[in-house]
Structures are given as structure tokens and as C-alpha cells.
Amino acid sequence: MPIRNIAVGRPDEATRPDALKAALAEFISTLIFVVAGSGSGMAFNKLTENGATTPSGLVAAALAHAFGLFVAVSVGANISGGHVNPAVTFGAFVGGNITLLRGILYWIAQLLGSVVACLILKFATGGLAVPAFGLSAGVGVLNAFVFEIVMTFGLVYTVYATAIDPKNGSLGTIAPIAIGFIVGANILAGGAFSGASMNPAVAFGPAVVSWTWTNHWVYWAGPLVGGGIAGLIYEVFFINTTHEQLPTTDY
């Protein structure tokens, strides 16, 4: 059971060179992702006079986040695992695949990366507002909370299946693009309702820079619950239970 694999970690783990390099990789990957994702929304707003909430704006956001995450995960995968998301890190922790201390280090790096990215965007765009996540009209807090749980479950489940599972075979080579695709698809599904964050760091940076905290807890609680459930389910039922790897030709 994964609960037996959960570990706090050694006190000196947070200062080890490999852990610090991994944290730096998470910082850079998150910065890359947030600049691409939030920046695309700001650019679309500028070009269309605040038309980012239109159907074409939703498609643009989905594409930018999918491409940006594909790159962010790819460049960090060999150093830190390419989490780029506190919910992914939490899901990995629940499954016993990262220690608590290293996970906290990742969280700090991811949050800082998002804040720095948003500060850069605000400066580079001449002071344009960095839009914070918020609920659409007619969408209740509970509705958004459940939506964030479901979407993040799909994301972290994809991360486990393609990147964490030791029996992923050749699927590991397409993990970044699969992860990017599920995020893009989820934005198309949930962007018009909750904004489809699926990532506390992505919501945190804009909230800090714009100082907008309305319903911000939804973008922490939902993704963490969804990521934790995904990590627990995949670890219990598919990693800790024998399952045969399909032949490569069957993929």
C-alpha cells in the first residue's frame, strides 16, 4: 500500500545539491508555463479588446497551455520529474513517489516561478492587468470545486500512467505531450466555468500580482483533492498490483 511508502525525508534533503537543482528546474519550468499560458490570455485581451472569454479565446487558451505545458514538462522531466504543479507533486507524495520535504521544496519553487512569471508579464506588457482565476456567472463555488477535482484527477492520472508508472514502457516518451493534451482538453471543457486551473501555482501567481483572492481556495482545494485521489487510486490499483505491460506493438 502507498501509505507505507509515504516518507517525510531526511532533514538535510532540502539542502542537497540534487534537490536544489530539481527545485530550480521546477521554478524554471513553472515560469515558462505561466508566461506562455497567462501571457497568451493577456495578448488575446489586447488584440481583441478583452475578448479572452469568447469561444475563440477559450481555444487559444487551451492551445497555449497545452503547448506550454508540453515544453515545461519536457525540459524538467530529466531533472525534477517535470511536475510544474503542486497538485501533481501532492499526488506523487500520496503515492509514495516523493518525500514530504522534497515536495515542499517543489511547492515553493513552483509558487515562486508563477509569481515571478506574472511580475515579468506585468512589466513586459507595460502594466497590463494579469487576469486572476475566477468563477463565471452562474457557477457556484461547489460547482467549481467539483469541476477542479475532476479535471485535476484526469491530469494527475495521466501523469501517473505515462510518467510515474514503472511499467509505462514506451509510453514514457510521449508523457509530456499526453500531459499537455489533457490540460488543453480540460480547459476546453471547464474553462468557461471555473477557468480550469488544475494547478494551484498557476492560480497563485496572478492572484498575488493582481491581489485578487475571491474564491481562491477553490483553486487549491479542488486540485489537491483531485490529484491526491488520482495518485492514491493509481498507486493502489495499478502500481502495487501486478499488471502486465502490453507489448510495444499494441500501443
Going from the first residue of the chain to its last (251 residues), give the mean pLDDT of each consecutive group of 10, the final group possibly shorter. Answer: 70 87 97 97 88 83 96 96 97 93 96 98 95 93 97 97 84 88 97 95 97 97 98 90 46 32
Give me the pLDDT at residue 14, please: 78
Neighbours of 212 (CB within 10 A): 16
Give me the pLDDT at residue 4, please: 59
Give me the pLDDT at residue 52, please: 59
In contact, 105 and 83? CB cutoff 8 Å: no
Give me the pLDDT at residue 3, please: 59
The total number of residues written for the chain in this structure: 251
For Cα atoms 206, 78, 97, give the angle at the middle one, nearest 5 degrees: 80
pTM attached to this predicted model: 0.92
Give me the pLDDT at residue 2, please: 54
Give me the pLDDT at residue 247, please: 45
**Alpha-carbon gap, residue 109 to 116, rounded angstroms:** 10
**Alpha-carbon gap, residue 87 to 226, rounded angstroms:** 8
Here the cell at position 163 is: 510518467
What digits encode the pLDDT tens for the residues 60-92? 999 999 999 999 999 999 999 999 999 999 999
Give me the pLDDT at residue 8, please: 83
**Alpha-carbon gap, residue 149 to 222, rounded angstroms:** 5
